[in-house]
A and B are shown apart, each in its own frame.
Chain A
Amino acid sequence: MIADLGFFSLLTAFLLALYGCAAALVGVRRNDPKWVASARAAALLSFPLLTISALSLIYSLINLDFQIEYVARVTSHSMPLYLRATALWGGQAGSLLFWSWLMSAFASAAMLRDWRRDRDLQPWVIVVCLATLGFFLSLVIFFENPFARMWQGVTGAVWTSIWQPTGALPYIPFDGNGLNPLLRHPGMIIHPPMLYLGFVSFVIPFAFAIAALVTGRSDDRWIRVTRRWTLVAWLFLSLGLLLGSRWAYDVLGWGGYWGWDPVEIAAFMPWLTGTAFLHSVMIQEKRALFKHWNLLLIILTYDLVIFGTFLTRSGVLSSVHAFAQSAIGPMFFAFISITLIASLALLSRRWQILKSDVQMTSMLSREALFLLNNFLFISILIICFLGVIFPLASEIITGQQITVGPVYYESATGPLWAALLLLMGVAPLSAWRVSTARTLGRAMWWPFIGSLLVLAALLFSGLRNPGALLGFWLCAFVVLVTLYEFWRGARARSQSKSEGFGLALWRLVGRNRRRYGGYFIHLGVVLIAIGIIGIEFFQQETQGRLAIGERLELGEYAIEYDSLAEWQTDDGRLIDRAVLNLHKGGEFLRQIYPRQDFYMEAQQPMTIPGMHSTWESDVYVLLVGWEPIAADSATFKMFVNPLVNWVWMGGLVFIIGTLVAAWPEPDSALAILPAAGQERRRSAEARG
Chain B
Amino acid sequence: MKRVIFVLVLLVLIGGAVMPTVAQEDGPTPSPDQVNKIASNLYCPVCANVPLDACGTAACAQWRQQIADLLEEGYSEQQIYDYFAQYGPGVLAAPPAGGLNWLIYVLPPAVILLGAWLLWGNLRKFKIPAALEKKTLKSEYTQRLEDELKARQ
Interface residues, chain A, with chain B CB atoms under 8 Å away: 252-255, 259, 261-262, 286, 317-318, 359-363, 365-366, 368, 371-372, 375, 378-379, 382-383, 386-387, 390-391, 394, 397-398, 400-408, 412, 431-436, 439, 488-489, 491-492, 495-496, 512, 515, 541-545, 605, 607, 635, 637, 670, 672-673, 676
Contacts and interface: CB of A to CB of B under 8 A. Distances in A.
B115 to A, nearest CB: 6
Given A259-B49, A398-B99, A436-B128, A515 B136 contact: no
B54 A253 contact: yes
6 contacts: A360-B123, A379-B115, A401-B89, A402-B101, A495-B152, A541-B36
B132 A541 contact: no
Contacts of B53: 254
B95 to A, nearest CB: 4
B123 A382 contact: no
Contacts of A412: 108
A261 B36 contact: no
Given A432-B137, A512-B141, A403 B92 contact: yes
Nearest to A398: B100
Nearest to B99: A398
Contacts of B51: 254, 259, 405
B117 to A, nearest CB: 11
A403 B91 CA distance: 7
B115 A378 contact: yes
Interface in B105-153: 107-108, 111-112, 115-116, 119, 122-124, 126-129, 132, 136-142, 144-145, 148-149, 152
7 closest Cβ contacts across the A-B interface?
A: A254-B54, A405-B93, A543-B32, A401-B90, A431-B138, A363-B123, A402-B95
A145 to B, nearest CB: 27
A379 B137 contact: no
Contact of A375 (B94, B108, B116, B132): B116
Nearest to A411: B94
A252 B104 contact: no
A436 B137 CA distance: 10
Contacts of A435: 136
A370 to B, nearest CB: 12
Chain B interface size band reads 35 or more
B93 A372 contact: no
A401 B94 contact: no
A394 B56 CA distance: 28
B100 A394 contact: yes
A382 B110 CA distance: 11
A106 to B, nearest CB: 31
A382 B111 CA distance: 8
B23 interface: no
A361 B129 contact: yes
A372 B112 CA distance: 12
B78 to A, nearest CB: 15
B55 to A, nearest CB: 9
A397 B108 contact: no
A262 B50 CA distance: 11
B148 A672 contact: yes
A635 B108 CA distance: 42
Contact of B103 (A255, A390, A512, A637): A390
Main secondary structure of the interface of A (DSSP, over half): mixed
B136 to A, nearest CB: 5
Contacts of B144: 670, 672-673, 676
Q: Name the residue among B56, B99, B122 with the largest chain A CB count within 10 angstroms.
A: B56
B28 interface: no
A287 to B, nearest CB: 11
Given A402-B89, A433-B132, A670-B140, 5 more contacts: A361-B126, A366-B139, A372-B119, A379-B108, A394-B95
Given A262-B49, A435-B136, A672-B144, A407 B93 contact: yes
A187 B123 CA distance: 45
A424 B98 CA distance: 38
A286 B142 CA distance: 14
B136 A439 contact: yes
Contacts of A363: 123-124, 126
A27 to B, nearest CB: 41
Contact of B136 (A253, A262, A404, A434): A434
A466 to B, nearest CB: 21
Contacts of B142: 431
Nearest to A408: B94
A512 B123 CA distance: 30
A398 B104 CA distance: 14
A515 B142 CA distance: 11
A436 B134 CA distance: 10
Contacts of B90: 391, 400-403
A317 B119 CA distance: 34
Given A400-B89, A607-B56, A491 B126 contact: no
B49 A403 contact: yes
Nearest to B49: A261
A386 B115 CA distance: 16
B17 interface: no
Contact of A401 (B88, B119, B138): B88
Contacts of B140: 670
B18 interface: no
A215 B115 CA distance: 31
A515 B33 CA distance: 48
Nearest to B149: A492
Contacts of B112: 379, 382
